[in-house]
Amino acid sequence: MTNFLFTFLRLSILVLLIECKSFAGQIIYVDDDSKGANDGLSWADAFNYLQDALASATYGDSIHVAQGIYTPDRGIGFTAGDRQANFSLKNGVAIHGGFAGFGEPDPNERDIEKYKTILSGDLTGNDIEVKDPCDLQWFQPTRAENSGNVIIGINADETAVLDGFTITAGYNSMVARNGNGPIGGAGMLNRSSSPTIINCTFAGNAAIIYNVGAGLFNSQGSKPILVNCRFTGNCASINGAAIYNIESAPKLINCVFYCNYAKSGSGIYNRNSNPVISGCTFINNSNSAIYNYSNSNPILNNCTFVKNTSRFGAGMYNENSSPKLTGCAFIGNIATLYGGGMFNGEGSYPSLFNCIFSGNSAEQGGGIFNLRRNSSLSLNNCTFSSNSVRLDGSGVYSYGEMTVTNCIFWGNVDPAIIGEAAVTVTYSDIQGGWSGEGNINIDPLFSDPGYWDPNGTPDDPNDDLWIDGDYHLKSQAGRWDPVSQSWIQDDITSPCIDAGDPNTPVGDEPFPNGGIINMGSYGGTAEASKSPTN
């Protein structure tokens, strides 16, 4: 946790410096409406094309780009309609979008939502909008002339900055493979590159045929930093609609992945990659929001997976990979077969701390499905509630070994745990009971547990709606209320308070904490319910 906080603070300082225009060079202006000298020295004389500003920029310069649509085939030395043209990032150059620009009362006013600055691969402006991103996997004639890569970073470092843009209409349909394996990155391609990307939206990009990584493709040791970015409506006919990582380790903070489509890993596909993903949200993505493959061991902190769908592992799929998750929530994800929240295949050893699985559903393993005996699962201070299955194992179904410590399984469809191999459960609250040291079978008294709304058709579970809840434990001494953002007192105290393993440190639990960690997802955290003093 200390390393995570250090990294987060370091990145936050970097972003603050960038947004405060810390670069010491000149400001170069770009506005497609400017009618002046087009030398980039002011809004009145701004370059019309971003390519011309990039060509003139040197280390330490900042480029300010006004609202409008900019394509990579426009500028001195470029040929209109050239699919292979792209915006190439430069070290030491920060590119900022979202300015009001020429003709506005205050051309320096910056609002990336009000003054959208779009980097588009639609070179002829003739794209026909699709209603469903999965339609982009099929050949789209109006996109045949779009850019194969809108942006490229080659050997860029963290001083190459892209801030406040929408990257859209990249269409990677070129040769699918070369000597280096799969290619992609219709929106952006990084090769041995680690730029800083802030407040950007990747939307409506597509990688078809055998291409991957429609929104962003990272390869050859790339380590980009992405902060407050959004990936929506991207499509890859194979893997990684939003992001595809191969032998790379990006850092993502506070990013949103919404309604992306791929055959696998519609949000993020990791292949021999180790990203650090913090505070990110994955909503309504198809075929596994995150797919970890071939020795990928990502670290996830405080991420949320909501209403994703797949046959296997709607929230996350692991194959020969061992992610570490802390403070993550899997809510209302649906797998038609196995692992509504998470699916673990061959040789995977995920470890989970302070995670919540609620309202997930599957044929088997509503929360988690562990397929192979050479895979194991470690659950620590996790909460499983109101998960459902059509067969067995509403919480977890595991063919491999599993250890469960300081956890709560309550309100799931029975049986909540199915173990085909050794299952060790200690200091946990298991509805229906489970043998093991410190285990109990008592209502944990959640603050406001989630539930399934029959949606007006009580006899048809297929259209039920999941209403999420609050899994803090009730306490007469004090319980954190996320709605009011304050501590409130209940008239009853949960039996799971001070009921965890006495050998587990209490961590950040607030005083009074009884000196023993609580069971459940908030045990050991600053939001742990307080201990009675008498």
pLDDT in tens, 422-461: 999 999 999 999 999 999 999 999 999 998 888 888 888 7
Contact call for residues 163 and 97 (beta carbons, < 8 A): yes
User: Residue 220 — φ and ψ, nearest 5°?
Assistant: 55, 50
Candidates 360, 396, 364; CA nearest to 379 is 396
Instruction: Tell me the C-alpha distance between 164 and 70, whole Å.
Output: 14
The pLDDT score that the predictor gives to residue 1 is 46
Q: For residues 467-506, b (16+ Cβ closer than 10 Å) or e, as one string?
A: ebbebbbbbbbbbbeeeeeeeeebeebbbbbbbbbeebeb
Q: Identify the H or E element spanning 479.
A: strand 479-481
The strand pairing partners of 325, in sequence order, are 300, 352
Q: Compute the average pLDDT of residues 173-196.
A: 79
Instruction: Tell me the C-alpha distance between 384 and 521, whole Å.
Output: 9
What's the 3-state SS for 112-177?
Answer: CCCCCEEEECCCCCCCCCCCCHHHHHCCCHHHCCCCCCCEEEECCCCCCEEECCEEECCEECCCCE
The strand pairing partners of 243, in sequence order, are 216, 268
Tell me the pLDDT tens digit for each residue of 473-494.
Answer: 999 999 999 999 999 999 999 9
Structure tokens at 461: 């579970």
Task: Please indicate, yes or no, whether the overall pTM of this predicted structure exceeds 0.85.
Answer: yes
Q: Compute the average pLDDT of residues 382-396.
A: 95
Range list of β-strands (E), 3-107:
27-30, 62-66, 68-70, 87-88, 94-99
Of 10-24, 151-165, 219-233, 487-501, the one with minimum mean pLDDT is 10-24
Q: Compute the average pLDDT of residues 1-20.
A: 54
What's the 3-state SS for 368-395?
Answer: EEECCCCCCEEEECCEEECCEECCCCCC
Contact call for residues 44 and 78 (beta carbons, < 8 A): no
Structure tokens at 428: 């946990």
Q: Helices (DSSP H) in 20-60: which residue ranges?
A: 50-56
The pLDDT score that the predictor gives to residue 20 is 52
Please identify which residue in the block is written with the tokens 């908030």.
522
Q: Sign (positive/negative) of CA torsion 63, 67, 71, 77?
A: negative
In the β-sheet with 235-239, what is the strand arrangement from edge to edge?
171-172, 206-207, 235-239, 261-264
Q: Compute the average pLDDT of residues 232-261.
A: 97
Contact call for residues 93 and 160 (beta carbons, < 8 A): yes
For 129, which DSSP code? P
| pLDDT above 70 for 180 | no
Task: Give SS3 for 274.
Answer: coil
Cα angle for residues 403, 280, 172 (degrees, 5° grid): 115
The pLDDT score that the predictor gives to residue 18 is 58
Instruction: Tell me the C-alpha distance between 358 and 295, whole Å.
Output: 28
Tell me the pLDDT tens digit for each residue of 280-339.
Answer: 999 999 999 999 999 999 999 999 999 999 999 999 999 999 999 999 999 999 999 999
Q: Compute the average pLDDT of residues 176-204.
A: 85
Q: Tell me how far the alpha carbon of residue 184 is from its chain's centroid.
A: 19
The pLDDT score that the predictor gives to residue 173 is 84
Q: Identify the H or E element spanning 236.
A: strand 235-239
Instruction: Tell me the C-alpha distance between 410 and 403, whole Å.
Output: 17
Tell me the pLDDT tens digit for each residue of 119-162.
Answer: 999 999 999 888 777 777 766 888 999 999 999 999 999 999 99
Q: Sign (positive/negative) of CA torsion 178, 180, 182, 186?
A: negative
Task: Give SS3 for 78.
Answer: coil
| pLDDT above 70 for 246 | yes
Cα separation of the two ends of the chain? 33
The pLDDT score that the predictor gives to residue 2 is 47
Task: Give me the chain's average pLDDT, please.
Answer: 93
Residue 337's identity, in one-letter code, is L
Q: Compute the average pLDDT of residues 71-98.
A: 98
The neighbour count for residue 307, using CB atoms within 10 Å, is 18
Instruction: Tell me the C-alpha distance between 218 and 194, whole Å.
Output: 9
pLDDT band at 177 (very low <50, low <70, confident <90, very high): very low
Candidates 230, 152, 228; CA nearest to 192 is 152
For 14, which DSSP code? H
Instruction: Tell me the C-alpha distance between 93 and 112, whole Å.
Output: 19
Q: Tell me how far the alpha carbon of residue 35 is from its chain's centroid.
A: 42
Task: Give SS3 for 295.
Answer: coil
Candidates 419, 414, 357, 355; CA nearest to 389 is 414
Candidates 344, 324, 468, 451; CA nearest to 396 is 344
| pLDDT above 70 for 22 | no
| pLDDT above 60 for 17 | no
Range list of β-strands (E), 272-381:
276-278, 281-283, 290-293, 299-301, 304-306, 309-312, 316-319, 324-326, 329-331, 334-338, 342-344, 351-353, 356-358, 361-362, 368-370, 377-380
Beta-sheet pairing, 256-258 with 281-283: parallel
Task: Give SS3 for 127.
Answer: coil
Cα angle for residues 375, 357, 284 (degrees, 5° grid): 100
Instruction: Tell me the C-alpha distance between 495 and 499, whole Å.
Output: 7
User: Residue 326 — φ and ψ, nearest 5°?
Assistant: -130, 125
